[in-house]
Structure 1
Amino acid sequence: MTNPKNTRTKLADLAKTIRSKNAGTDKITFDIIFREKATYEAVKRSGALNRDSVCATLNVDPARLTDFVEYDPGYAIKFTILRLRPSGSAGDADIFGAQQYAPFLDFEIDMTT
């Protein structure tokens, strides 16, 4: 999974699922789900995915991040942001919120911690 010379691994190589979708008309929710507990725990332990890194990755003001949850029973990290405008309104570029997860595909996790 990791190269001994480079302990940083792309989230897309670690997670089973990385997705985003509407959470009502005013929010988009993100799910990062792992296959096995060990990988999930290693990512959590790395501390790389946190409120600040999520906001930086999405380039959103921290006030727009409404939820950030490490959901142990589902080996998942979940977070939700407020939309700038309601889903489907004039100027909305992603009516379903399904295209917002892409920046997390290349997000790197240091797996040495």
Structure 2
Amino acid sequence: MRLAEACRYVRSKNAGPFWITVDLFFPDRAAYDRYVDAAALQPERIAALFGIAAEEVKRFPVPELQVLKISYPRQRPQGGALERDMHGGQQYVRLLDLEV
């Protein structure tokens, strides 16, 4: 199953000028429990997608809300001359086709 199918909603946003946070909203507790620890959502896989070191990827499971938050440093600070996604709102797209 692809992540886009496993989640009710996926979004990304700035977490300050140097970090991006991706929020994965699962439709229910059963889906959350099934996918929250999937290999595709581990720091090594996220790091490979975004070209960063795995030790810089942070995971924040929130079982009460059936959400997994994943944060990682931006490659360039927000608002830089080469910025292509000022608000970080398009960064989640790379995750949608991950097989979970």
TM-score (norm 2): 0.89
User: Superposition pairs for residues 1-113 of structure 1, below 5 Å?
Assistant: 9-65=1-57, 67-109=58-100
Identity fraction in percent:
31
Instruction: Give the direction of change, closer, same or farther, for the CA distance of 1:94–1:75 in structure 2 (3 Å limit).
Output: same
- Decide which structure has greater strand share: 1
Secondary structure at the aligned position of 1:108 is classed as coil
Q: Distance in 2 between matches of 1:84 and 1:64?
A: 12
- Give the match's secondary structure for 1:53: helix
Distance in 2 separating the partners of 1:48 and 1:90: 32
Q: How many residues align?
A: 100
Q: Distance in 1 between matches of 2:24 and 2:43?
A: 14
Gaps in structure 1 of 5+ consecutive residues: 1-8
Q: Which has the larger radius of gyration?
A: 1
1:22 Cα deviation from its structure 2 partner: 0.5
SS in 2 for 1:12: helix
Q: Distance in 2 between matches of 1:93 and 1:46?
A: 29
CA contact (8 A) 2:39 2:45 kept: no
SS in 1 for 2:89: coil
